[in-house]
Structure 1
């Protein structure tokens, strides 16, 4: 059996920017002294005149991006999720969100899988922070193919978009001819009748693996990939909840305010369903190899399987 190809979605982000930059002269990229880590350095090599290093001044970068957008440019401001959503929150809210400007936020190194960088850099709150900003689109792609498609869709969308990317290489799971990315539309990756797993980002591949483990125990789980957390594909989630009767959400993010909360908001209003939220349980992360940290916090296939088995 051939080994599954793995690519970090931050790499996908860099590659997508280069390809889009060739097609669109109005695309500009801003970074906060992290171009090598965020992979926007790829864009800088090809289009140095359209890359702006704002230094370690993320809040200022948000203001610059806002200003550029009013001149007809489509700016992608890039830094770690902790700084994009955390440090620059006020400027993103007031300078980008409030006037509903056409700025794209490329946030890399999100979640526990930042690994050795530790709790200060493991941003498990960014989806919640960005979700609450009126009019902000929030996208968390699951693999290389989806990340590239998301960057293209973000460019084409007129308005603010938050794109969440990871440091850890993720298995490529969307490599098929019929794959189609559409903002606000989830994808059913596996059919099942006993329960529905709604996953996002890095957790999609882990949830698929957990579903295979559950199948060996006679539990058939439907798996849905929600790459767009806002706007949420409520129609797909409600239909799945009615079909299977139980829903499990899986995210590399706090269970407060993220995918799980969005799904519960939807179901409590439109189809009351028993829900189990799997994610970071109101705690900070810690430094360690990414895969070991994910395992300790129950966010690998084994941990997801164990929690769902008890729930099912």
Structure 2
């Protein structure tokens, strides 16, 4: 969701040229540079949530289309998987939560859409990983997978697991989807084994969320993951505070800790041009909504 719009005219031109020249040049020579350009979009900073939302749908559709022609492009696969996952959370599932109090039917429709988007992001990540590790799905189904992924594939594993977790969380009436939670957890563990510091705490937060959610999960272990996420984020990520508030304090019924963590999230300020600008803006908005909803949550 942090994609910059500065190169959008180039991307539009490149897409147009790809269509124009497709009859007289090998498609790989056309789509590869476009794939490189699209994959790089996620590194830019954006501080306007609505602008990001409006741009994201075009970016995702174009990126997904190019990925079909460049299925082995790791960077683009990461961008597409992360894009669908972030869009589902930031602009659909979060909106459903805030809509619930006044329109339960509308909220349910949004959650159904978010689930489809999460599934799309997950499937792109799994497809890209399976091209590198043909036994991936069989390994994920094992209690203790022996597979070890390369560090370069940690982003794909992280976003695949995050999208899978989002899908499971919105599919409580679909036991066949919920039954896949152990596979999602194992995918996150593959990333954790290779690079536990990935995302400056994002992976640690995901591990904490899975530990808190899985049957037989340990609250103390979940807390340890969330605390590690806070340490890695070093006060720069509002999301780390919100994750612990929702993953530990809320289930424990600890309103004082819940509100303290959310107020800490609201206090997070990033420097100009920070890649965390958009995510922090989103998570501060969620923190405010959670604080306003505390009476209903406890």
Q: TM-score, normalised by structure 2?
A: 0.32
Considering Cα pairs closer than 8 Å and 6+ residues apart, tell me whether 1 or 2 has the greater RCO. 1
Q: TM-score, normalised by structure 1?
A: 0.31
